Chains A and B, each alone.
Chain A
Amino acid sequence: MTVDSPAIRAINLSKIYGSGQAEVVAMKDVSFTMSNGEVVALLGPSGAGKSTLLTIVGLVNSPTSGKLIIGEDLITDGPIPKVNLRSYRRRFIGYVLQKANLIPFLNAVENVQLALEINDISGKGAKLRAMQLLESLDVGHRADNLPHMLSGGEQQRVAVARALANRPRLVLADEPTAALDSVRGRQVMQLFRDVAHKYGTTVLVTTHDHRSLDIFDRILEMEDGRLKDENSGNILKAV
């Protein structure tokens, strides 16, 4: 993989929720590209459409119009998917959401293992890899605990481990550091960058936390469903 070839290409993506009176234009004509190994922050006020963009790129939401291309594959053209989305998510995408959303009846290491098993990686190797991930996120000592015994921050770090378990091509994180203190938050962001630069993973993170913005390769900004001119983003980064 070369860093230059685009990993993701969004072309004129729009999303309209509801219809008639209740119509909400959440996203309008959004176009951008991201390269392999690139770590991108997505900023914007609440309601700007960040989550909408993230879920469409994450293949759990369909655009009303526009195209999405991942690697060489045309994923969707308008609302009709061109590939098996679930299989695509399984193999290529890792998610970190605002809430950890761990499976409550599996302990920390099992939650990570589950992501591997879903990809047909099981047994000792899977457990070892899950443990390593947890340790690299400072929650190795909590491996045997069920989610409800973990603090919010610990849960979120387990969720990060789960997202990275299959070495996905694309990691999407929706305000992943909201539940973390600034040190831990920064740690997670740094981990994303390390993974991205090491394995060529593309990372897209929405965040409110301006203190960690120096970690990102690039910053995108959204407002009222539109992507701002990237230059204004660069100005922000300079701040």
Chain B
Amino acid sequence: MNLALKDIRHNLSRFSLTALGIGMLLMVVMGMGGIYQGLIQEATLLVDNIGADLWIVQHGTRGPFAEISRIPRNIEDRLQALSGIAGARSFVTFAVQREYNNNPLRMQVQGLSWPEDKGQWLPVVAGRNLGAAHFEMIADQILGLQLGDEVPLGKNHYKVVGITKGMTSMSGDGLAFFSLLDALEIQYDYSGEAIRLERQARQSRLTRQDIGWTQPSLVERAGLPSSKLPALPNPYVSAVLVRLAPGASIESVVAKLSGWADVTAFTRREQDELLLRGVVDRARRQLGLFKALLIVISAIIMALILYTLTLEKIHDIAMLKLIGARNTVILALILEQALLLGFLGFVFAFYAGKWVFPMFPRKVVINNDDLLSLAAIVLLISVLSAGLGIWKAMKVEPNEVLS
């Protein structure tokens, strides 16, 4: 005869409600862990997927995610010439926040080095990769754009040709992929008035210097649109991504690059580290602490519940002792209920979470390791919190039945 189950059956609705409450609490714990994992996944998503062995950034910076990094695009060509390197492509990333159909549209613009990179590595769930050098974009579904939408950015409209799934920036915004040139165009989009003022400033700067007096034609040239000016500086990009040749040793390439005074190279692992230890570190630690706090709270609540359940039965427990029941009978009664409560709560948390978490605005990743460790924690909490009730039950004297 299982006393624990008989008691539960007798108080079924209340026990179920309690299990439900504990389940919800555990769901929050699970969710907190999921948000933590989601944060890590979002932070390292691009680095893990873009398929770069080395990240070349502005010298001395930890770019491009941790801080601003600007390097001239022609680093690409210098890198291509280095032995052990199979390919180099520019990387441009920045956030824009605009309006589309009267809704705020916040996205992380990502430049793809057309034509080598058409976005083949992207998890496209609808539509296709980039098919032209200009005016096309691939958007993540979280942005809410539809295939065929034409999004105005700067002076152009960009047509959505592909939709990805799960491509988000480390701040949870959806990624939008453009050709590199389009991305630069969006980034350096100035209004007509700004350009006019800049032209005027250029001219007046020239007329204040002797070069302007001696070469009046130069002043005239300076008044032309920027595109008509001979390009002196290189366009700047955030980083250059390097793919190693098969069999090439990463150490030797890094060693060679360490001699370059204008750039710094990071391996993929180092880039991941920079993101996790730096960029999302505080958020990560905050979530971790919050999760720990929730676990402690769950343990306290469960202990109180089990203590109350035991107090309610204290008279029956005294009676059991009076008729000579062994301590194991009483122990099993409390412990089995604690374990069942923990188990049911966990199962509820799992299924409810499965249903609820996908509706969250940011990624919630429940992985098996987390589930296993939470299961172990719930087991531990159940046993420990039963301890308080068991301690009370053991102290009861059989003659308390008589009072």
Contact = CB atoms under 8 A, between A and B. Distances in A.
Chain A interface residue number, banded = 20 to 34
A162 B315 CA distance: 17
A89 B319 CA distance: 12
A117 B1 contact: yes
Contact of A89 (B9, B316, B323): B323
A90 B399 contact: no
Interface string A43-61: 0000000010001000011
Interface in B299-344: 315-316, 319-326, 329
B333 to A, nearest CB: 10
Interface string B391-403: 0000001110110
A118 B323 contact: yes
A20 interface: no
A91 interface: yes
Contacts of B316: 103-104
B1 A146 contact: no
A106 B324 contact: no
Interface stretch (A33-41, A108-116, A131-139): A108-116
Contacts of B149: none
A105 B1 CA distance: 12
A51 B402 contact: yes
B162 to A, nearest CB: 62
B10 interface: yes
A118 B326 contact: yes
Nearest to B11: A105
A97 interface: yes
B7 interface: yes
Contact of B399 (A60, A93, A101, A106): A60
Contacts of A61: 399
Interface string B336-367: 00000000000000000000000000000000
Interface string A81-125: 000001111110101010001011110001001110111001000
Given A55-B399, A104-B316, A86 B321 contact: yes
Contacts of B9: 105
A105 B10 contact: yes
A113 B3 CA distance: 12
Contacts of B7: 105
Q: Is the interface of B mostly helix, strand, loop or mixed?
A: helix
A115 B11 contact: no
Contact of B319 (A51, A87, A101, A117): A101
B14 interface: no
Nearest to A100: B319
A86 B328 CA distance: 13
B402 A97 contact: yes
A90 B324 contact: yes
B398 A60 contact: yes
A214 B321 CA distance: 34
A118 B324 contact: yes
Contacts of B397: 60
A96 to B, nearest CB: 11
A104 B6 CA distance: 10
Contacts of A113: 1
A111 to B, nearest CB: 10
Contact of A97 (B3, B6, B329, B401): B401
Contacts of A110: 1, 6
B11 to A, nearest CB: 7
Contacts of A87: 324
B326 A104 contact: no
B402 A114 contact: no
A88 B10 CA distance: 31
A162 B323 contact: yes
B10 A146 contact: yes
Given A86-B324, A91-B324, A118-B326, 14 more contacts: A55-B399, A60-B398, A60-B399, A61-B399, A87-B324, A90-B324, A93-B324, A97-B401, A101-B315, A103-B320, A104-B10, A106-B3, A118-B323, A174-B402
The 6 A-B residue pairs with the shortest CB-CB distance, nearest first, are: A90-B324, A105-B10, A89-B324, A60-B399, A105-B7, A60-B398
13 contacts: A60-B402, A86-B325, A86-B326, A88-B324, A101-B401, A104-B316, A105-B3, A106-B6, A110-B1, A114-B1, A118-B323, A118-B324, A118-B326
Interface of B: 1, 3, 6-7, 9-11, 315-316, 319-326, 329, 397-399, 401-402
